[in-house]
Amino acid sequence: MTFYFNGIADKTFDLCENNKYKTSIEIDDSYPRRNECSYEGVRQCTQYKIYQGMNTLEKLFCAYAGLGCIGQQAASCTSRNCFGDVAPNEK
């Protein structure tokens, strides 16, 4: 599965290994600006929510939803980063 941002391949995940489905995907990236109220902060927050905050099935649904899923995550990050609208379980 490959995720694209602005038409550029960003991350690729191998969901099968030796014909067996993986139960988890390891990612070692850091997102240092993901809490900023800026374009870069919202972009990193959106990537973090998709790559780190979703399990494999959620990622598949997000890939199917396409821009709708990315837009929803970006709106959520904008609300959180710029307006302090934090979910009760994130406090």
pLDDT of residue 13: 67
Task: Please report how many Cα atoms fall inside a 13 Å half-sphere around the Cα of residue 55, on the Cβ side.
Answer: 3
Q: What is the reported pTM?
A: 0.64
82: closest CA among 32, 35, 43, 40? 35
> Which residue from 12, 13, 10, 80 is spatially nearest to 45, judged by alpha carbons?
80
Residue 74 domain-assigned? yes
Question: Which tens digits make up the pLDDT trace of 9-50?
Answer: 777 766 666 666 555 555 555 788 889 999 999 999 999 999
Question: Residue 79: its pLDDT value, please?
Answer: 94
Residue 56 domain-assigned (yes or no)? yes
- % of the chain exceeding 70 in pLDDT: 76
Domain count, the chain: 1
Expressed as residue numbers, the domain containing 75 is: 34-85
